[in-house]
Amino acid sequence: MEAKPAYPNVVLTVGQSPLRPTRDDVKYFTFGQNNSGGGFHVTDDYGEYVIIAAVDVDDANERAKKLGLYFDGVDSGQDCECCGDRWSPVWREKGADSPLVYDEVKPEAYLGGSYSSLRTTIVVHHADGSRDTYKKIET
């Protein structure tokens, strides 16, 4: 018997992260993108959310910068002053044991369930150097 996918409107693509592998004793830290200027920027390395395996919060923020995230968008003129910075550094000291959107919801459940209407892409960068991209598709 063939199992039905829990979220048929979410596609998972596995690839290679540009981040170098890190230690195994990591936590996952979530970065959420603000739609500064009225739109989101999505690349192979990040979506509206990016979840990064890192040793601690400082390591997570540094790894995020290597992917192209920046935390000074308004000051540098990249982001809309009225909307605010596109990205903010993570500040919670404690990450999650597995990739979760804000330590609560699995990426496929976030996109496939009733949590998200505007957000369509979540990219997870694992400690081993692999990358999972979750994309919501129209059904």
| d(C-alpha 69, C-alpha 16), whole Å | 18
The reply to whether 92 falls in a domain is yes
Residue 79 domain-assigned (yes or no): yes
Backbone angles phi, psi at 112, to 5 degrees: -85, -20
Q: Would residue 3 count as lying in a domain?
A: no
The pLDDT value recorded for residue 55 is 92
The reply to whether 5 falls in a domain is no
**Residue-level pLDDT, tens digit, the chain, 139 residues:** 444 557 777 888 888 888 877 777 899 999 999 988 888 989 999 999 999 999 999 999 999 999 999 999 999 999 889 999 999 999 877 899 999 987 788 888 888 876 766 778 999 999 888 999 998 887 6
* 127, part of any domain: yes
If 0-12 CB within 10 Å is exposed, 13-18 middle and 19+ buried, where does residue 69 land? buried
* Structural domain contains residue 49: yes
Q: Does residue 35 sit within a domain?
A: yes
pTM to 2 decimal places: 0.87
**What does the chain look like in DSSP terms, one character per residue?**
-PPPPS-TTEEEEEEE-SSPP--SS-EEEEEE---GGG-----SS--SEEEEEESSHHHHHHHHHHHT--S-HHHHTSS-TTT--S------S--BSS--BTTTB-HHHHHHSSS-SS--EEEEE-TTSEEEEEEE---
Answer yes or no: is 2 within a domain: no
Q: What pLDDT was estimated at residue 46? A: 93
pLDDT of 102: 74
Domain around 119? 10-136
| Total count of domains within the chain | 1
104: tokens are 């609560």
